[in-house]
C-alpha cells in the first residue's frame, strides 16, 4: 500500500495502533513496521507513544484533539488535576500539560502535541469522571469536584489559609457542596481537611460564616 492510500484510511481516525494498521493494509507485520518507520521519518505520521501513532496535521481531515488523545495514550485514564481545574476556571492559570489520573502506574509521555502526565490513584478512587464533548471529541474528564479533590490528594502536606490564597481559587460557585462531600468521603482525612478550607472560601464569597 502506498502512503496516499494509507493516509486516506488513517487520517479519518484520531489515532491508530499496529493491529488497526495491519487490518487496513493486509501487510505482514515486519513490512508494515518498516513502512511506518519510513512514513514517520518522512513527516506523514508521528508517534504518540510506543505502539500508538497518528497522521500528521497537514494530512488530516480534522485537527488533532489533544484532550481526546490524552485518554488514548494511556488508558484507562481521565483528565483531572491542574488541566481540569484550569479548564473549569477554578484556577486562573492556563495549564499546558495534559494531567490525567489512572489506576495504572504513574507515567509521562511527550510528543509533538505536548506533555502528557498520568498519576496513579487507588482503584477505589478511580471514579467521579464522565464522558463529555470537548473540541469536537468525546473525552473522559473528572467532574469539577473530583478534579479538585484529586488535586488536593496529590498535593502533599496540610493546606493552610495562606496556601489556599496562593492558589487564587475562583468560580467556586460551580462546586456542588453535596457532591463534594459525597466524593470526599473516600479520601484520606488530610484531603477532607483541605476541602473544608475550600468550603470556607466559597462561603466567604457569599458572606456566609461556617
> pLDDT digits over 152-177, tens only?
999 999 999 899 999 999 999 999 98
C-alpha distances out from residue 152 to 24, 73, 159, 198, Å: 45, 25, 9, 10
Tell me what pLDDT residue 31 has. Answer: 94
What percent of the chain has pLDDT above 70? 97
Q: 75-114: b or e for each residue (b if 16 or more CB lie within 10 Å)?
A: eebbbbbbbbbbbbebbeeeeebbbbbbeeeebebebebe
> pLDDT digits over 113-139, tens only?
999 999 999 999 999 999 999 988 999
Tell me what pLDDT residue 152 has. Answer: 96
Tell me what pLDDT residue 201 has. Answer: 84
Q: How far apart are CA 109 and CA 146, in angstroms?
A: 23
Q: How far apart are CA 56 and CA 187, in angstroms?
A: 41
Q: What does the pLDDT average to over 94-112?
A: 97
User: For residues 86 and 95, is the Cβ–Cβ distance under 8 A?
Assistant: yes
Q: How far apart are CA 145 and CA 10, in angstroms?
A: 37
Count how many residues are written for the chain.
210
Tell me what pLDDT residue 207 has. Answer: 57
Q: How far apart are CA 122 and CA 127, in angstroms?
A: 10
Shortest CA distance to 120 belongs to which of 76, 179, 66, 159? 76
| Position 210 confidence tier, pLDDT thresholds 50, 70, 90 | very low
Give the cell for residue 163.
496556601
What percent of the chain has pLDDT above 90? 84
Question: Which domains does the chain show, CATH number per domain?
Answer: 3-59 (1.10.10.10), 66-205 (no CATH)
> What rounded mean pLDDT belongs to the chain?
93
Q: How far apart are CA 69 and CA 34, in angstroms?
A: 24
| Position 200 confidence tier, pLDDT thresholds 50, 70, 90 | confident
Tell me what pLDDT residue 209 has. Answer: 47
Shortest CA distance to 84 belongs to which of 145, 156, 174, 35? 145
> pLDDT digits over 3-51, tens only?
999 999 999 999 999 999 999 999 999 999 999 999 999 999 999 999 9
Amino acid at each position: 500500500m502506498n502512503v496516499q492510500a494509507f493516509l486516506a484510511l488513517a487520517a479519518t481516525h484520531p489515532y491508530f495502533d499496529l493491529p488497526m494498521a495491519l487490518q487496513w493494509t493486509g501487510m505482514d507485520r515486519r513490512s508494515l513496521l518498516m513502512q511506518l518507520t519510513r512514513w514517520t521519518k518522512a513527516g506523514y505520521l508521528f508517534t504518540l507513544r510506543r505502539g500508538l501513532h497518528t497522521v500528521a496535521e497537514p494530512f488530516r481531515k480534522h485537527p488533532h484533539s489533544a484532550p481526546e488523545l490524552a485518554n488514548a495514550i494511556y488508558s484507562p485514564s481521565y483528565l483531572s488535576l491542574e488541566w481540569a481545574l484550569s479548564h473549569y476556571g477554578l484556577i486562573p492559570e492556563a495549564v499546558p500539560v495534559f494531567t490525567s489520573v489512572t489506576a495504572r502506574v504513574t507515567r509521562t509521555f511527550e510528543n509533538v502535541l505536548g506533555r502528557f502526565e498520568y498519576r496513579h490513584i487507588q482503584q477505589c478512587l478511580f471514579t467521579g469522571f464522565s464522558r463529555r464533548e470537548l473540541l469536537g471529541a468525546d473525552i473522559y474528564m473528572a467532574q469539577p469536584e473530583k478534579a479538585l479533590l484529586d488535586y488536593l490528594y496529590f498535593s502533599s502536606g496540610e493546606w493552610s489559609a495562606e496556601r489556599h490564597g496562593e492558589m487564587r481559587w475562583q468560580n467556586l460557585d460551580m462546586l456542588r457542596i453535596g457532591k463534594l462531600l459525597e466524593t470526599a468521603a473516600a479520601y484520606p482525612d488530610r484531603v477532607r481537611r483541605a476541602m473544608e478550607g475550600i468550603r470556607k472560601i466559597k462561603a466567604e464569597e457569599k458572606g456566609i460564616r461556617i
